[in-house]
Amino acid sequence: MGRMTTPPRVLTIAGSDSGGGAGIQADLKTMLALGVHGMSVIAAVTAQNSLGVQGYWELPPEAVRAQLDSVLGDIGAQAIKTGMLASSVLVETVAEVLAGVTAPVVVDPVGVSKHGDSLLAPEAVETVKRVLLPAATVVTPNLWEVEQLTGVKVEDADDMPRAAEAVLALGPKWALIKGGHLPGEPVDLLTDGSSAYRLTAERHDNRHTHGTGCTLASAIASYLALGEDVPAAVRQAKEYVTGAIAHGFPLGAGIGPVDHGWRMRADA
């Protein structure tokens, strides 16, 4: 047996999804699938299933802070991903810690669930803009989140550069504007203000897409931890997520999840 080597370590700071398709659960499955060691700081607990979010409970800020200190103080991370942070005080707690880390930070500015359930207090949007986005290496808003953060409404692909500019003005190094909700071929725009990449993917006629946003952000963080630069990490993360969407499966009576283990099953 060879010497055991520790894989790159990736930390997710997000909410728990009891149905296992999104949130912390999606993050950890993605990290396992991509060959990194996943760790978690739970900011909120949701009661949710394939039909929607039935309720959520924030953890106390000291519990979130203690989890962060435990992981970062002893184990460290090669990349960090944030998801559902629920409230202003939790956004501030997390941002304060992130301001002191050198690892790349992927911010998924979670506003609502796939079912339209709000996962961020309205007053916390300003806090995300003020303290969280400036700490981000990459921020990954969908079109609704772009509008929530900047007021820019994206009607078609031509509006995406303006949306990206507005997001970059809030302080992240890179913005990935996800165009999946536009009609036609889905196009995402990745830019740091000087370089721009248009990333297309085939559209899969599959309604089982719960967890796509969490999965993409975690995949980007995983590839960054593995040493890829931002454009390469995003490109590879998109390939992984596109396959996961193609293999999404029914679960319960509503929207099923993407398949985080699709590559393992494809290889079997």
Q: Please say if 214 is a catalytic residue.
A: yes
Q: What is each CA distance from 45 to 1, 13, 120, 131, 192, in whole angstroms? A: 40, 12, 13, 23, 33
29, 81, 129, 178: the catalytic one is 178
Give the containing element (helix H, strand E) for 60: none
Q: How many whole angstroms separate alpha carbon 184 and alpha carbon 69? A: 45
29, 46, 137, 214: the catalytic one is 214
19, 38, 211, 248: the catalytic one is 211
Q: For 30, phi and psi rounded to 5 degrees?
A: -60, -45
46, 127, 150, 209: the catalytic one is 209
Cβ burial, residue 180 (10 Å; 0-12/13-18/19+)? middle
Identity of the residue numbered 150 = T
Q: Is residue 38 within 8 Å of 31, Cβ to Cβ?
A: yes
**Segments of 50-86 assigned E as strands:** 52-58, 79-82
212, 215, 248, 256: the catalytic one is 212
- Residue 211's nearest CA partner among 84, 42, 35, 77 is 84
Q: Please say if 212 is a catalytic residue.
A: yes
Q: For 208, phi and psi rounded to 5 degrees?
A: -85, 80
Q: How many whole angstroms separate alpha carbon 33 and alpha carbon 112? A: 26
Q: How many whole angstroms separate alpha carbon 92 and alpha carbon 94? A: 5
Q: Please say if 213 is a catalytic residue.
A: yes
Q: How many whole angstroms separate alpha carbon 142 and alpha carbon 26? A: 18
213, 215, 242, 248: the catalytic one is 213
Q: Please say if 261 is a catalytic residue.
A: no
Write out the catalytic residue numbers.
178, 209, 211-214
